[in-house]
Structure 1
């Protein structure tokens, strides 16, 4: 392992404390010394940080790289955005523990909800495990560019114990709950950082996901198990877009966790102006929970999204059953379906009868732009609403007509929603609000979550001055490490893991998207060019040098650390 001396930089240590001039010595994967004018030893490589900041490596708080780490071990573009650790196993979904009998149903759901290539999961993962200890060993043996920390997905846990049919249909028995708790306990004892659950989603057949059928007794037993492992946390994907149900949903888990002293995160405090009413309500809920002594942390996004929506696989149209069925039908039948008068009649009726949501793109057709045409027929760069008005068509018919003309491989683009930036940054200064929740590794043809971390430093720190650099770095490193119980990383301190990033504010940017045609099934994904960070170091190994990835893969599975 190389020994490094990072010289001439300004340390932003991840705690929120003022930056200071210092050199950082790295030996054997750990920070060995911090001081001014340190002399390099004969066996040390000098990393020039002059004119730059030296910070803890950035942590991605919510990813779905559970599959990509096997077929894209470089996990680009994460290293080139200063990322050294990612959290996976989110939204109730993980690939362990997972019995072979449960694998098909769980992977189908996983790939549907996260817009991922199913064949890649089936063919590229070694599947040398069904329980967590063997999974931990497999991940630790896989050479990857960043460290990974994993939740146990409640959906995988429940389906493994109950079987796919029962898990999707009924409450668990006492014996099944006990078995789930046993498997969770084993996982936590072997490196898992907690459990994620999901009371929000539906599958491709519009059935609620299995964890929505879990009764309080099941959750209580599983949170009892979390409580046996200090530092283990619960992640909840609750009904975050339902103004009438979010409080009830969150308070259910708040009671369960508070009684057992378990920390949790819940989704989500909204960022956009169109969600102002929801933001007021969720901030009040957040403040109420903290005042009542519940160790719950709200999540909040920090990047206005311009997502792309395609017709090959997408959740966008799930609330219109006819469109949902078309999206999930075989590729060779889709165009015929769109042209079928009976299907069109049904699609119009179901479009008009759909449940509404303020943030839903199909409820705001003026915000959906025609962006990519497979055939070149067009038109492009006009909204679905404008096109429907010009053609004199119902919105559903207008969309079907455009897709017929332009091809199933075409895409819509959602206009970015305006953020209430002062409100957003005010909440990031709250010590119990999490950010960098960006779905890296998922929704590959919708957006690229990887790289959104840099936007916090460029937009909120450099361009608007709404946050200090120390606050921005703290939100991307020390705050997240503290929440997840990763006490051995997240700050620049002697003895901590040598996960570091060297950057200058005027050199970095969240770069524009481009298509990478490198998925194992031959499909493409959105990617980004390197951000401009000068150096990224994982466990004392440089994964980025002179702003370019090195191809080094020193990452491993990390977990809750004592201390």
Structure 2
């Protein structure tokens, strides 16, 4: 008797092979048999007739480190077929952490990734200090989906050097050695590598005092030193946010870590912009050049039809790296922002500083933002119109209209971006076809009050296959699952093959979709706090390690998720020994 049989499905196995009709039998969390018909008895049978059966999506870029404590299914990612997510990206995480730094770590996570501090303060038990203790805690935690974790480099630097030193100087020889030892200890405990950002003052992910986080100002030599650990181990990957479109490009560090480690490096991020049509072309050319030089670099993409819904109180992370919004972001709370928006001196500086050409990295030019809910009798007649249209009707500059609306509504008016990413399928086609591109960057668990990237797999399938006919399902499911599994070293995931973990999802091809007009607001954070989400349509079942965890976006109550580890590459070990 099998634990589960999925019958009559159209199987797209993620290997790139042509789809076929068949059954899948699962035993002890593993795919035991795939055949045209399986007649054996099972404890549970799912009839997938007329449905696509595909490998679970693997998302290499999330921030569910905290959210999994109150949302064990990591929604909305799991609603859209994600069965494995990677946490502690960009160097942000909770270990190692001294007890005296716990509050600061949570405030940092709130300011950089907009994870509400009140939720973390209530939900995180802080039963750990070291990374191995964190992993032990995470293994015991009830989880609906699988997680893999980087060693977050900001946490490591603060733990070893102290916060002020980590931001202002290079590590000493002794500090380097200690960080090296702790990274080895973390990888022994299951870390899949380390993650960081390196954008200097240009990163919108700022500390609570609006100064750069440690890795953004770290000495590159310290990062390269840690990259050597991965070469010695023949194991692991590095994630590095080093390029912010036209604003800053520190990809030299990505190249050097790739050269020294010999391991895969995940570069962030390649995006298509209609207002900067050459940006993605230049990134892809750079990737080609790294391949020619023998460097093992991949670029994570953000290619779904993304948007943000926000008020001036929730959008600071989009604005912190460009003026005049960097200054505006230092004013915290409704009263302070309203005063700033009304201040003639600030308004004069804003008019002088605003440049729409640098805004495409921050949700697009102000002119392209749409007024969704004015919360104002004065501006209610303009709901549904772009700031550019409102400015024209009012006979004033777009930047002034924005701050007029903010002032008039005490910063509570709702806006929506319309040019955050390209709507041109040709640009997305070019990005996804590159062999060194990973298909997704959801940022799941972060920025919960203005965005939800967990929708990316659903959107890519609906857009690029069903609507545009540019890709086949076979190609897309390989991109969404097989490629990230291979790059991350998760050898038992990513394809529907006998002997591999039974992580999969089942969906109605014709119904697969989501609400493209507006996100839902749900109050499911601790203390009844709220977030914005995008629900899946047409996803019938999500199965993790052989257990159904979602049925039509409703949790089943099963908690089969595991902490995953990357494998060692014996060939790399041999090369290091030589």
Is the 8 Å Cα contact of residues 363 and 417 (structure 2) preserved in structure 1?
no
Aligned equivalent of 2:385: 382
Shift, 1:358, TM fit:
5.2
The 5 A counterparts of 1:34-113 are 34-41=34-41, 43-113=42-112
Q: For the structure 1 residues 357 and 12, does the alpha-carbon distance in structure 2 shift closer, same or farther, using more than 3 Å as the test?
A: same
- Give the CA RMSD over aligned residues: 2.4
Q: Show structure 2 runs of 5+ residues with no match.
A: 570-578
Q: After superposing the two structures, state which structure 1 stretch, 453-462 or 201-210, moved more.
A: 201-210
Residue number among 433, 457, 475 corresponding to 1:429 in the alignment = 433
Is the 8 Å Cα contact of residues 102 and 163 (structure 1) preserved in structure 2?
no
Aligned equivalent of 1:516: 522
SS class of match (1:228): helix
Is the 8 Å Cα contact of residues 361 and 414 (structure 1) preserved in structure 2?
no
Q: Deviations over 1:74-109 (max 9, x none)?
A: 323333211111111111111122222333333322
The 5 A counterparts of 1:411-560 are 411-416=414-419, 417-512=421-516, 513-545=519-551, 548-560=554-566
Shift, 1:223, TM fit:
0.4
Aligned equivalent of 1:125: 124
Q: For the structure 1 residues 351 and 295, does the alpha-carbon distance in structure 2 shift closer, same or farther, using more than 3 Å as the test?
A: farther
Q: For the structure 1 residues 209 and 481, does the alpha-carbon distance in structure 2 shift closer, same or farther, using more than 3 Å as the test?
A: same
Aligned equivalent of 2:189: 190
Q: After superposing the two structures, state which structure 1 stretch, 169-178 or 480-489, moved more.
A: 169-178
Q: After superposing the two structures, state which structure 1 stretch, 299-308 or 396-405, moved more.
A: 396-405
Q: What TM-score results when the alignment is normalised by the length of structure 1?
A: 0.92
Aligned equivalent of 2:21: 21
The 5 A counterparts of 1:298-447 are 298-313=299-314, 314-319=316-321, 323-324=325-326, 326-331=328-333, 333-334=335-336, 337-338=339-340, 341=343, 344-353=344-353, 357=358, 359-360=360-361, 364-374=365-375, 378-379=379-380, 380-416=383-419, 417-447=421-451
Q: After superposing the two structures, state which structure 1 stretch, 98-107 or 390-399, moved more.
A: 390-399
Shift, 1:339, TM fit:
6.0
Is the 8 Å Cα contact of residues 274 and 358 (structure 1) preserved in structure 2?
no
Q: Show structure 1 runs of 5+ residues with no match.
A: none
Q: For the structure 1 residues 145 and 348, does the alpha-carbon distance in structure 2 shift closer, same or farther, using more than 3 Å as the test?
A: farther
| Count of residue pairs brought into register by the alignment | 557
Q: For the structure 1 residues 545 and 184, does the alpha-carbon distance in structure 2 shift closer, same or farther, using more than 3 Å as the test?
A: same
Is the 8 Å Cα contact of residues 335 and 410 (structure 2) preserved in structure 1?
no
Shift, 1:9, TM fit:
1.3
Q: After superposing the two structures, state which structure 1 stretch, 351-360 or 107-116, moved more.
A: 351-360
- Provide the rounded CA distance (Å) in 1 between the counterparts of 2:301 and 2:525: 29
- Provide the rounded CA distance (Å) in 2 between the counterparts of 1:426 and 1:325: 37
Shift, 1:446, TM fit:
1.5
- Provide the rounded CA distance (Å) in 2 between the counterparts of 1:323 and 1:522: 30
SS class of match (1:451): helix
- Provide the rounded CA distance (Å) in 2 between the counterparts of 1:283 and 1:358: 22
Q: Deviations over 1:457-484 (max 9, x none)?
A: 1111111110011011111111111111
Shift, 1:408, TM fit:
2.5
Is the 8 Å Cα contact of residues 376 and 406 (structure 1) preserved in structure 2?
no
Q: After superposing the two structures, state which structure 1 stretch, 80-89 or 518-527, moved more.
A: 518-527
Q: For the structure 1 residues 535 and 316, does the alpha-carbon distance in structure 2 shift closer, same or farther, using more than 3 Å as the test?
A: closer
Shift, 1:184, TM fit:
1.2
Shift, 1:335, TM fit:
5.3
Is the 8 Å Cα contact of residues 309 and 411 (structure 1) preserved in structure 2?
yes
Q: For the structure 1 residues 48 and 66, does the alpha-carbon distance in structure 2 shift closer, same or farther, using more than 3 Å as the test?
A: same
- Provide the rounded CA distance (Å) in 2 between the counterparts of 1:102 and 1:224: 28
Shift, 1:423, TM fit:
3.5
Aligned equivalent of 2:574: none
SS class of match (1:197): strand
Is the 8 Å Cα contact of residues 451 and 531 (structure 1) preserved in structure 2?
no
Q: For the structure 1 residues 475 and 550, does the alpha-carbon distance in structure 2 shift closer, same or farther, using more than 3 Å as the test?
A: same
